[in-house]
Structure 1
């Protein structure tokens, strides 16, 4: 090794390399500025429709309507901006929390610097608990253990030393030992960086809801255009006033345009994100909520997702006596002595998951024992996979406890070949169950004697075997069962060994009969892989690029894919999936920024709750869209009737704007708060090709609107026959429309339940909404300014009773027709 490598870089050399190669960090692609969020929201076709509508109103000279529409458009944009900006702030806090600092040699002296300032050629000083800041090569002979689970998915620590496996990687954790290493790659040139670069070639899936709403808008626009053209033609031919005909046609077109759609869609997604946050899930992209509700396949990592990513002792064997993890069963003295001895051979403040497992074992905790500081200890060596610690007794002798690889401990105990073979046979059987095995031994060193040079030179007595496993999260089996009931297939994709993957899959309740390894996946072409993923639920020893291939194969088969993960190795597949779900507590920045949803508590069950909420949100959104279709029919009809019969306008443009931008969206929020349908997680996912509104749903909405229009039209005729004034008729029809609006809300609260059962469903928003409508009604009709603004007349008691009767009639008629459409409109 050269002298410069021993003392590290000088500050001048480090600054020069930093300037030429850049900082040791990945581009924060997921971070969005307020301007970019605003640009993205305003660029949406639905928001563009709102602004266009306002411009048209401005062109025809109605400044009030233009300002009202523009104001509501800006409010809806602001809601989305606030939600997305809050999500970005949470991610930024997570990013800062996990940003490592590094201890390096600069100018021959140790210096603590920001991880982003580490450069190639730096000598980094690493100790237990340190996060490796960059890819590096070990330069000292020490043996260390590293946790590479965030990079590889492997839950067990990996042994590293300068002679054999001497490379350590950015983002990994030192769990035992200390060492020095020379940095070989930083930033995008590190292994993490290479995966980050791969993300640039992966396109994130566009939300299907956005695509479907575009189609709905096109349908509305087409119908609106045709009817508006007919109005212009008929008015011009009948009244010979083509300019007025054009303005009337434009008014009808605006009455039919779905101005509510963007606002309702935004409110549903934002409220959905809020509801999901209550189960500790951060929604980075609100539109991903509905996609998760339609997921057909959930691809999940094993380590840290299904499992706790920590080792626990699940098996003990001493003198032919066994313990299999049941704390309620009787514990023999031999088993307890084995456990205590293993703990005495462990370091108390260690980062090693197996050491921690000894001290967190409930049997040892129940004993209330304390751990003494050892008087001497032997660490792991590349050629001797065991460690030992010695404790001086009152008589000056020493009790020595050792643990390590079973074959190493057996040799140190000088067991016979037959005894060794039997122990290794037990180890093999336990390994088939996915357990990691250590052996434990003890020895005595007489008073006055000095410890030998090596840990294997004591006179050991073999005590037994200790089995470790990364335990399954407690709520995973129930979550898996719920997914199965909901028709969602779960696939485990892990970098761990097949035996371990099968063991965890069996505990979780997954189908684990067929396992495909990374080597086998590598031999398959795309067609072969697409066929294999149809029947395989467990993939083991899988590399990051193979994870991506599996996700793409599932998508090619027509599945809607949700992918969960926490490590850097998950990032490309998270981004490629229809919906990427990252872990928030232990997940990497790369994984979080490639995802659409982040589980803040790393709880797999939270994801299942999110799926259920996603389905509920989508169901309620469909109800709201049917309601909007229904309410547009009478609004458009009431705009058309006066043109046909040459009567004054029933609804002024400002009243139409009030209905479509305030009252209708407010009523839709009632549907957003509606409880989930009884079968929300007992039915298969909806087809990816299923439209938001089927033809039957549109027909059901049109039928509701048609009945409402017929009732309002009859009231309009009766009012004219009774000699009511223009303003009185307008007031009567507007009150009746509001009340019929409420009846439409009640009808659409549930797909299946009758209206009598619906009243038993709790929905506090409905009560507050009804009060709000009454207050709005009072303000509009009983303040002179509002009456003048909306060009309304006086309201009498019999007018209100007439309007209530209209609402009841509409509700009774629609309730009678509901069974006809129940199966067709929403299946």
Structure 2
């Protein structure tokens, strides 16, 4: 049936092709900018121009110019490896996004030159007359000329899962159109028609649409630069300066004490380059790339790999409701019968036979192939024998503005009269059933109770048709069967995920465009504090200071518009919180981009939300966020372990380069020895530490302080302590060898072997902030075993093979010498393990003053 009068013939004539071409040329295509879509060359340029990587490449080039080919090859190999891993990961991420993105704009049925034709959505212009029917994606903002039981899903703009009813308007609107709300005459670009059909005249295209306005706000928001990158760039510069100073010092001392300026220059450059922090960019690039790869196995796409580490520092997780906490579909949750009995529904088989009549009738009141989410809920839960198979639909009575109910007349058995199934608003069904006042009061009481629980309520009625079917739905004779409460169900993983976030000291706040009652019900089911929901209307009355205070008092924000979501995120950032924002709709995109970590849903999420995000959940599973947080914390812990090892291991190397010059001993380290050490250090601090297991308490401690530096004073102090102990052990062996008047080649071999064994001891010391070496030995990793085997093999080769001994200028070592080196390594390990608890390397304080 027709809800609204048909438009006049002039309005239906549409534009001419010439008019359309002129408007397309003047206003541009009906499309949004492609956003932050990165091509392969752009990704490569971003990777190469990183200052840390540029330092790596420059270091390799200097080695090559100096003729140190071996050192240059090692440095260049790691540089190329880090570039390749990062480039492949980022490129794969963009390719997956290309698969998610709908490359062809939705087709639109319009009228041009008086004829109906389908064109690409990007070619729609203002003034076009478009035809809409069930399943169509609206190509542009438009004013309805006619509407036949038309309903649209506008959740991508409003966050509300329930479709809204539309009605036509005879002329232009008196007020600007706003998404959401029933009986409005405007449809919006990107929304989905779930029921009925209609015609509309386009009023806005491209950036002028509601989606386009959100796109404009996105263009003004800059993504956050990961703090870890800023810190690492700073420390790289400082260590490069320190390495240069050591290089000059070594060269000067060598020339002063030995008188050979050429050898002094070569020794100074070799030592200085060995101290350049080339490990740091390698560690950072590989840790992030490997983290992205590990997350991809859990169906989490990382568009910006550095966001993984930032996610591990998140203190606030802001989440949309529809499609994020909930499944973005309607499900039947409760049935109430006229006698007052109530039945909570947990699944398709939970209703039981007592509710079978209500469900069967509700199903028959739905379209056989529905687009409406509430009708799909009846198809999902209704008994198998209640589906309209073998029945013929005789007539449908559609929704009307003056009667929000629909009825369908079915014929089954030819000998039985046709059956009427009806559903609709409770007050409309009460009218159709001619309920007495006492029954209406009881119905209203039940409706209020269900609405207070956040349920959308439909009433179900049944009747039989006798004689000729009436033209008016009011003339049907129906009997009320019961009330059905529907809701967008919570995802199963959400309560456990939120509980784990709370245990980890992460606040979860739900920000939704839905109504406060619905939002509060979902919040309580998810385990959030929904006692004091803040609405968008109330938010507009608060200044920034009052809003900052109000954010500490509740977890639920309802009826929030896109600009208000962005304001909430910025207010949280102003409190020095590390903010992660999840969402799936266009209305979430500005806040997703502004947050420190933007997380979009990949399945139901919109292209705009995915483009604005740093992380995309391909399976739309909220629980994946917690896995990403866990991995982010593990990455940061392992980064700290790698950094502590790198800083510690360079101290004995530098000390062993300086000590012989100061003490008049033979020079121990040459370029080949440094190259060998680099071959040990780089794989250890990347592959070995990256693969380390997470600490047992990783999700039982609060987030780290956002102001905490990776290179904190405590961590540097711990590294210096390790380096001093290691250097002392090596120098003690050096003095012991000099005291025995060992030949120079044997002394060099003994001291170098001790240095390598001590470095191995430092690996075990830094594998965990709390576990003992015995526990660490009980959980060997393939990468560690590979490094240890390679080191053992090389040491055996250079000690037994004469040609290798000549290259390293080593003399033969005896059994007691090897026992001595092993004893030095064991002593370093035990001493540092005894000292480790004093440094309290595990963080025990939270991310803000409000956390313990």
Within 2, Cα distance between the matches of 1:673 and 1:371? 61
| CA distance 1:639–1:680, change in 2 (3 Å) | same
| CA distance 1:149–1:795, change in 2 (3 Å) | farther
| 1:672 equivalent in alignment to 2:685 | no
State the 1:500 CA deviation.
0.7
Within 2, Cα distance between the matches of 1:800 and 1:126? 84
SS at match of 1:96: coil
Within 1, Cα distance between the matches of 2:267 and 2:288? 35
Within 2, Cα distance between the matches of 1:174 and 1:801? 80
Q: Deviations 1:467-508 (Å, cap 9, x if unpaired)?
A: 111111111111111111111111110000111111011101
| 1:756 equivalent in alignment to 2:774 | yes
Q: Deviations 1:655-711 (Å, cap 9, x if unpaired)?
A: 424433554334542121111111111111000011113222212112222222222
State the 1:731 CA deviation.
4.4
| CA distance 1:190–1:649, change in 2 (3 Å) | farther
| CA distance 1:332–1:822, change in 2 (3 Å) | closer
| CA distance 1:98–1:654, change in 2 (3 Å) | farther
Q: Which moved more, 1:764-773 or 1:159-168?
A: 764-773
Q: Deviations 1:294-335 (Å, cap 9, x if unpaired)?
A: 111110111111111111111111222221225699967653
| CA distance 1:365–1:684, change in 2 (3 Å) | farther
| CA distance 1:152–1:789, change in 2 (3 Å) | farther
> In structure 2, what is the equivalent of residue 184 of structure 1?
203
Alignment of 1:259-298 (within 5 A): 259-298=278-317
Within 1, Cα distance between the matches of 2:803 and 2:616? 49
SS at match of 2:102: helix
> In structure 2, what is the equivalent of residue 580 of structure 1?
598
| 1:634 equivalent in alignment to 2:652 | yes
Alignment of 1:40-79 (within 5 A): 40-79=46-85
| CA distance 1:725–1:485, change in 2 (3 Å) | same
Alignment of 1:105-116 (within 5 A): 105-116=111-122
Q: Indicate if the aligned counterparts of 2:748 and 2:810 stay in contact, CA closer than 8 A.
A: yes
Within 2, Cα distance between the matches of 1:22 and 1:754? 66
Q: 2:707 aligns with which of 689, 697, 703?
A: 689
Within 2, Cα distance between the matches of 1:264 and 1:78? 14
> In structure 1, what is the equivalent of residue 163 of structure 2?
157
Normalised by the size of structure 2, how large is the TM-score? 0.91
Q: Deviations 1:222-260 (Å, cap 9, x if unpaired)?
A: 433444444455445545666655554443332222110
| 1:460 equivalent in alignment to 2:478 | yes
> In structure 1, what is the equivalent of residue 759 of structure 2?
741
| 1:131 equivalent in alignment to 2:137 | yes
Within 2, Cα distance between the matches of 1:226 and 1:774? 33
Aligned length in residues: 824
Alignment of 1:493-642 (within 5 A): 493-642=511-660
Q: Deviations 1:626-676 (Å, cap 9, x if unpaired)?
A: 111111112222222343345554333344244335543345421211111
Q: Which moved more, 1:63-72 or 1:563-572?
A: 63-72
> In structure 1, what is the equivalent of residue 172 of structure 2?
none
| 1:310 equivalent in alignment to 2:316 | no
Q: Indicate if the aligned counterparts of 2:364 and 2:388 stay in contact, CA closer than 8 A.
A: no
Within 1, Cα distance between the matches of 2:155 and 2:811? 72
| 1:424 equivalent in alignment to 2:420 | no
> In structure 2, what is the equivalent of residue 117 of structure 1?
123
Where does the alignment leave 5 or more consecutive residues of structure 1 unmatched? none
| 1:221 equivalent in alignment to 2:240 | yes
Normalised by the size of structure 1, how large is the TM-score? 0.93
Within 1, Cα distance between the matches of 2:550 and 2:843? 36
Q: Indicate if the aligned counterparts of 2:704 and 2:843 stay in contact, CA closer than 8 A.
A: no
State the 1:177 CA deviation.
1.1
C-alpha RMSD of the superposition: 2.8
State the 1:46 CA deviation.
1.3
Q: Indicate if the aligned counterparts of 2:270 and 2:670 stay in contact, CA closer than 8 A.
A: no
Q: Indicate if the aligned counterparts of 1:146 and 1:176 stay in contact, CA closer than 8 A.
A: yes
| CA distance 1:98–1:342, change in 2 (3 Å) | farther
Q: Indicate if the aligned counterparts of 2:364 and 2:387 stay in contact, CA closer than 8 A.
A: no
SS at match of 2:342: strand
Q: Deviations 1:18-65 (Å, cap 9, x if unpaired)?
A: 333333222222211222212212222211221232343345453543
Q: Indicate if the aligned counterparts of 2:319 and 2:510 stay in contact, CA closer than 8 A.
A: yes
Q: Indicate if the aligned counterparts of 2:133 and 2:197 stay in contact, CA closer than 8 A.
A: yes
State the 1:192 CA deviation.
0.8
SS at match of 2:101: helix
| CA distance 1:599–1:366, change in 2 (3 Å) | farther
| CA distance 1:345–1:544, change in 2 (3 Å) | same
Within 1, Cα distance between the matches of 2:223 and 2:295? 22
> In structure 2, what is the equivalent of residue 39 of structure 1?
45
SS at match of 2:383: helix
Alignment of 1:473-484 (within 5 A): 473-484=491-502
> In structure 1, what is the equivalent of residue 355 of structure 2?
335
> In structure 2, what is the equivalent of residue 325 of structure 1?
345
State the 1:793 CA deviation.
6.2
Within 1, Cα distance between the matches of 2:296 and 2:302? 7
SS at match of 1:551: helix
| 1:441 equivalent in alignment to 2:461 | yes
SS at match of 1:176: strand
Within 2, Cα distance between the matches of 1:330 and 1:364? 11
Q: Which moved more, 1:493-502 or 1:451-460?
A: 451-460
State the 1:135 CA deviation.
1.7
SS at match of 2:453: coil
| CA distance 1:4–1:804, change in 2 (3 Å) | farther
State the 1:789 CA deviation.
6.3
Within 2, Cα distance between the matches of 1:79 and 1:786? 33
Within 1, Cα distance between the matches of 2:511 and 2:652? 53
State the 1:540 CA deviation.
0.5
> In structure 2, what is the equivalent of residue 173 of structure 1?
192
